[in-house]
Amino acid sequence: MAHGDVKHDYHLVNPSPWPLLGSIGALFLAVGGVVLMRGVGEGFFLAKGQWTLFLIGAAIMTITCIGWWGDVIKESRAGDHTPVVDIGLRYGMILFIASEVMFFVAWFWVFFEMVIFHDNRSSWIIAGDPEAMAAWANWPPPHVETFDPFQLPLMNTLILLLSGTTVTWAHHALQQDDRKGATLGLLLTVLLGLAFTYVQFGVEYPEAGFAFGNAGEVASANVYGASFFMATGFHGAHVIIGTIFLAVCLLRLISGGFSAKKHFGLEAAAWYWHFVDVVWLFLFTFVYVTPYLTMQGN
Amino acid sequence: MSHHDAAHAGGAHDAHGDHRPSIYDPRRWLFSTNHKDIGTMYLVFAIIAGLIGGAMSGLIRWELKEPGITFLPHLVHVPHAILEQVRLGVMNADQLWAWKVDAAKHFYDTLVTYHGLIMIFFMVMPAMIGGFGNWFVPLMIGAPDMAFPRMNNISFWLLPVSFTLAMISFLVPGAGDHAGFGGGWTLYAPLSTNWGGGATPFSYHDGPAMDFLILSLHIAGASSILGAINFITTIFNMRAPGMTLHRMPLFVWSMLVTVWLLVLSLPVLAGALTMLLTDRNFHTNFFNPAGGGDPVMYQHLFWFFGHPEVYILILPGFGMVSQIVSTFSRKPVFGYLGMAYAMVSIGLIGFVVWAHHMYTVGMGLDLEAYFIAATMVIAVPTGIKIFSWIATMWGGSIDFKVPMLWAIGFIFLFTVGGVTGVVLANSGVDTSFHDTYYVVAHFHYVLSLGAVFAIFGGFFYWIPKMSGYRYNGFLAGLQFWIMFIGVNIVFFPQHFLGAQGMPRRHVDYNEAYQYWNNISTIGYLITAVGVLVFLVTLVEMFLVKRKAGANPWGEGANTLEWSLSSPPPFHQFNELPVIKPEAGH
């Protein structure tokens, strides 16, 4: 794309309204979020439980995403994504996934700290409160009925692993210019993603033998439930994001986008999907299986 | 192809016909995809935030000038309900004053908190990474712009949003009726939780201020992560032909290490902040012992981010000082590779020393021994840097221009802060010094006198390149000497106060501590005059408009940015430069 005096292949992007709009959306989301959770005043927009500002922020964010990534697709079609720019996009996606991995480190940190050090805590004199001491003495703590990992969770593991193979099928089919195969593989992946989400949020969560939060009214609720639901819940949120990402790729594929040689959007979606998959394997091993086997051992 | 035509109309031509958009065109700034314009916006933002954060420290110092709570009660906001009671005669003047003194305690705590947060997240990081990083990483590696110019813009615009949220947080109720969060920049649980039960009224924060602050830091973190991804991609993928990693200027190396720390540590903070948010709003009990959680776990998560963060604040300064010392000694940096890999090892070790901030929480002795050893190891690569800077100057033809004054000031004062750091690394000593003014003196020597000196050094080193104008050497030199004297008078006595046992983050103190507190406050006034001289220097420079050539510093300045005009063309390097082996650092 060397034009006129420009003798390099980098992509100098045109000025764009989306970053500013997205930031304004973030402001509305944040203020709206605090209003929703706590309320900051008496007014119509500011009282606790008011969705208005939050929804305005979500709408602005959605418009920004569509506009921004729509521009990226247009630029790709215009030939701006030269080989060197393509490598840059790959670096960007890998680093984004790396930062996501570190986000999950925080949630696993809680889990491992509780698993490994709960004994130390119960022996601290400072703990004092007998109820807290009892909560710390065992992991999983008293009143918690863990899931049998070899029922629904195992099925969900297989669903997710299967979706990992179908997305690879779609990718390889596209590389062979078999667009029909690619469409089918991608469609199956999206459906498997939806199936996972339904099984986790629709079937498994309501059957949990422990609660998410505790304001004093639920005896079985403590940090076990919190760390379980936050870790698997954030994973579930990432499954939904990945499903949307793949669904957008499916729409692009159906409407004639992507080629056998150039389809980084699909590859990025596949990378993201595999990341979600690997996080699940860690969750399955350490959050579902290990505590279950420990309890069996007891 | 209208798309590309638009790009050209927007100014994609080279230096000869450099169609730079007017600075009065709001779209140039609001919609910018130009790394130099975005860098400029970061610098302006950092200066404004620095003035606000600096003003807060002024209020702190003025309150601490003498014992007793005497100054801040005059400034606290009195709610309508209290004024009504005074009007009705229910509350007399003495009772009103007592109410104000009580409110001033919380106000003081919030000043300490927001001063720290503003200086870290909205002054030092935007100036070093967003400002100088954006401006000079592409120029120094011979790239036309950053890898993701549009993402670069959202990295910037998220910051004013984050700052707005922090300011909202400062003003809305935090603890009871009192505005703002007063638990310190570390946001430790249970101070930052709302489940209460503490011994004093301010031992937790039930108001929305803390929630705003959490989301403010979430957004600042997102901004930094996106920026970090952008820098890593730019440095790995957009170096000019011949610019190998081992030929990159040390400033670029310092940025590379810094942004890796950002991308790996900030998401962990995001997780910890999310736990705080759910603890506050959805009863998750992560940090609540009554629900099986643990407040110390918050400290672990926080400092796993927080310790790399303090290296994030200083590493770009290392890079800038290397460039400046080399330029004004007219010598290549001594031990270039050692300097680069010293920063890499500081970055790596920085991830495994976090619990040295937590010696007093009651961890096992073996664990303390490990963290002492690991922390002390960092003195080795840091020593490599200090001695290499000195060796660079040794035998050089040193030119004491203003940036060099700041750089030498940095080396001297950062060493002082580093040495007190080695002292504090010992858990036995730290048990006494923990949360005293000795710690305050230590981290202000490495940050306020280290990082900020590096920022001023970088500013005067590069302002001729960025603006095209030369600064007034007398005014800028005057600012250096005033600030050098001022900040040392502020912070050196705080070592004594700490050694005498004065605790930090307290609005009042025993009369025994009055002498050095008084001196410290006088130092603040001197420093404030220095900041004023800085602003005068800036205004004078832009009014008088002394043209700076492409390279005002002579043969010592041999990195790529000095091969371009001042200011550089709107889009530089339309034809990529080719780097030959001897022209590296």
Question: Cα–Cα distance between B531 and B163 in angstroms, integer?
Answer: 22
Residue with tokens 């350490």: A286
Q: How many CA atoms lie within 13 A of B332 on its CB side?
A: 11
Domain hosting A241: range is 82-297
> A92 with A230, same domain?
yes
DSSP A263-295: -HHHHHHHHHHHHHHHHHHHHIIIIIIHHHHHH
What is the reported pLDDT for B11? 37
| Cβ atoms B226, B151 nearer than 8 A | yes
Quick one: pLDDT at residue B202?
A: 61
Report the pLDDT value the prediction gives residue B20, as an integer from 0 to 100: 79
Whether the pLDDT of residue B1 is over 70: the answer is no
Distance, in Å, from the CA atom of A69 to the CA atom of A61, rounded to the nearest integer, reads 12
pLDDT tier for residue B4 given thresholds of 50, 70 and 90: very low
Contact A99 B225 (CB under 8 A): yes
Do B504 and B435 contact (CB within 8 A), yes or no? yes
Please tell me the predicted confidence (pLDDT) of residue B292. 77
Q: Does B158 touch chain A (CB under 8 A)?
A: yes
Note whether A157 and A266 are same-domain residues.
Answer: yes
Asked if the model's pLDDT at residue B501 lies above 60, the reply is yes
Q: Is B403 on the interface with A (CB under 8 A)?
A: no
> DSSP code of B1?
-
CA distance A2 to chain B (A): 10
| Contact criterion met (CB < 8 Å) for B149 and A212 | no
C-alpha triplet A189, A195, A197: angle, nearest 5°: 105
Q: Report the pLDDT averaged over residues B277-301.
A: 88
Closest Cα in chain A, distance from residue B24 (Å): 15
Listed residues A33, A50, A81: the one ending a domain: A81
Q: Which residue has the higher pLDDT, B388 or B289?
A: B388
Cβ of B571 within 8 Å of Cβ of A12? The answer is yes
Concatenating the DSSP letter of every residue in B30-86 gives HT---HHHHHHHHHHHHHHHHHHHHHHHHHHHHHTTSSSS-SGGGTSPPPHHHHHHH
Residues of A in contact with B79 (CB under 8 A): none
DSSP letters spanning B436-470: BHHHHHHHHHHIIIIIHHHHHHHHHHHHHHHHSB-
- Cβ-defined contact of A129 to B218 (cutoff 8 Å): no
**Cα B3 to Cα B151: distance, rounded to the nearest angstrom:** 19
Backbone φ/ψ region at A8: left (φ over 0), alpha (ψ -120 to 50), beta: beta
**Residues in chain A closer than 8 A to B212 (CB atoms):** 30-31, 34
Q: Do A226 and B145 touch (CB under 8 A)?
A: no
Subunit contact A103:B271, Cβ cutoff 8 A: yes
pLDDT in tens, B336-365: 999 999 999 999 999 999 999 999 998 889
Please state, for a pLDDT cut of 90, what percent of chain B lies above it.
Answer: 86
Query: Would you call B87 exposed, middle or buried from its count of C-beta atoms within 10 A (0-12, 13-18, 19+)?
Result: exposed
Final residue in a domain of this structure, among A49, A66, A81: A81
Query: CATH code at A230?
Result: 1.20.120.80
Final residue in a domain of this structure, among A25, A56, A81: A81
List the single residue in B7, B268, B297 with the smallest CB-CB distance to A102. Answer: B268
More confident of the two residues B437 and A223:
B437
Per-residue model confidence (pLDDT) at position A216? 57
Catalytic site positions of B:
115, 145, 185, 223-224, 307, 309, 311, 322, 356-357, 382, 385, 504
Residue A132: the pLDDT is 63
Nearest CA among A31, A60, A57, A56 for reference residue A46: A31
Q: Round to whole Å and give the CA distance between B547 and B238.
A: 31
Same domain, A62 and A91: no
Question: Is the Cβ pair A23, B289 closer than 8 Å?
Answer: no
* Predicted local distance difference test score (pLDDT) of residue B520: 97
* Three-state DSSP class for residue A240: helix
B154 CB within 8 Å of a chain A CB: yes
Same domain, A87 and A64: no
Q: Are residues A169 and A288 in the same domain?
A: yes
Question: Which B-chain residues 159-178 have CB contacts (< 8 A) with chain A?
Answer: 160-161, 164-165, 168, 172
B232 at interface of A, judged by CB pairs closer than 8 A: yes
Domain shared by A278 and A184, yes or no: yes
How many distinct structural domains can be found in chain A?
2
CA distance B258 to chain A (A): 14
Interface touch A10/B143, C-beta < 8 Å: yes
Interface test with B, best of A3, A9, A12, A121 (most B CBs within 10 A): A12
* Residue B502: closest CA among B443, B446, B448, B435: B435
The tens digit of pLDDT for each residue in B536-562 reads 999 999 999 999 999 999 999 999 999
pLDDT > 50? residue B12: no
Given a cut of 50, the residues of chain A with pLDDT beneath it are 1-2, 125, 127
Say yes or no for a CB contact (<8 Å) between B218 and A8.
no
Q: Are B442 and B417 contacting, i.e. CB atoms less than 8 angstroms apart?
A: yes
- My answer on whether A70 and A121 are in the same domain is no
Task: Report chain A's C-alpha Rg in angstroms.
Answer: 23
Q: Where are the alpha helices (DSSP H) in B189-289?
A: 209-237, 250-282
Average pLDDT, chain B: 93
Here the ipTM equals 0.94
Give the pLDDT confidence score for residue B7 in this predicted structure.
38
**pTM for this one?**
0.94
Q: What is the pLDDT of residue B196?
A: 60
Mark whether A103 and A203 lie in a shared domain: yes
Do B356 and B379 touch, CB atoms closer than 8 A?
no
Tokens linked to B51: 């003035």
CATH code of the domain covering residue A29? 1.10.287.70
CB contact under 8 A, A19 and B153: yes
With beta carbons under 8 A apart, name residues in chain B contacting A127: 289
- If asked whether residues A9 and A25 sit together in one domain, one would say yes
Residues near B212 by beta carbon (within 8 Å), at least 6 away in sequence: A30, A31, A34, B165, B166, B168, B169, B172
Q: Are residues A101 and A232 in the same domain?
A: yes
Distance, C-alpha B360 to centroid of its chain: 26
**Residue A193 corresponds to which amino acid?**
G
- Compute the nearest-CA separation of A248 from chain B (Å): 21
Interface test with A, best of B1, B2, B3, B25 (most A CBs within 10 A): B3
Q: Examine the domain organization and report whether A141 and A259 are in the same domain.
A: yes
Residues A234 and A251 grouped into a single domain: yes
Buried b (16+ CB within 10 A) or exposed e, B185-215: bbbbbbbbbbbeeeeeebebbbbbbbbbbbb
Whether residue B426 is predicted with pLDDT greater than 60 in this model: the reply is: yes
> Residue B392 pLDDT > 90, yes or no?
yes
What pLDDT is stored for residue B2 in this prediction? 34
